Structure 1
């Protein structure tokens, strides 16, 4: 008798409570450019907007890795337990646009040892975020001599 297959995860959805809902939606939808998938409202002024963030991954880092990434990207320990990272085409332009839209710059775009350009920001909804631009192709990152795991990345 065959056992039941392992359930397949079809989507990762990060749910964030935002005191200033309108400002958070404007920042992530309009400034960062996450397309709106759906919006719902209910009794008592309950509101949610679901934004499409493209492909999702769950990155599990131990405390030493989290500290190392903070040191590389910022030069000091700043990230809370959860940090949200967004891959973009142009880290410098995106970081500047997000600061103009209300984010606080924690660290400017910084070249990492794993060849990405990463900026740190404190964003609306009390989220600490990374904006990162991959400077190598997926093939270059996967090559035995260019593997992100070989140089302590990604992150």
Structure 2
């Protein structure tokens, strides 16, 4: 009998973003949003990278209809590109205000969603379209037509 190969295990999701203004992106994501610095590397030719911790990572795969639904609920119109980065925070209203003061453009203010979270949309440095969300209620599992238990919105 042949032994089954071990199942691959992903240990980390790392989103790599090219930021034309590296210092502004660091100031926004590390200092204003509060992502702790894990490591920084500087190499020849002014090559720089800063790795920021962002808590637990998930990969949310949505079909086009779900993406449109989320945009409609949170913003009232289609605005998100194919990739949107979402951050769970303790206070969506205060975080949104802090990020706008730090240079983000508010696309939609904190809005209560049918799946019981408070979500805002922002255009952030490094060309990222982001959601800041606060969970308001306890999740009991997937809901029809709504993102699942581990979803950001």
- TM-score class, shorter-chain normalisation, is over 0.9
The total of aligned residue pairs comes to 148
Which runs of 5 or more structure 2 residues have no equivalent in the other structure?
A: none
SS at match of 1:150: coil
- After superposition, the C-alpha distances for 1:5-33 in whole angstroms (9 at most, x for unaligned) are 11100000000000000000010000000
Aligned alpha-carbon RMSD (Å): 0.9
Q: Which runs of 4+ in 1 moved over 4 A?
A: none
Structure 2 equivalent of residue 39 of structure 1: 40
- After superposition, the C-alpha distances for 1:74-115 in whole angstroms (9 at most, x for unaligned) are 000000000000000000000000000000000000000000
SS at match of 1:149: coil
CA contact (8 A) 1:113 1:151 kept: no
Which runs of 5 or more structure 1 residues have no equivalent in the other structure?
A: none
- After superposition, the C-alpha distances for 1:26-53 in whole angstroms (9 at most, x for unaligned) are 1000000000000001111000000000
- Give the deviation of 1:148 after TM superposition: 4.1
Query: How is 1:7-86 mapped onto 2 (pairs within 5 angstroms)?
Result: 7-86=8-87
1:93 aligns with 2:102: no
Q: TM-score, normalised by structure 2?
A: 0.94
Distance 2:39 2:53 in 1: 9
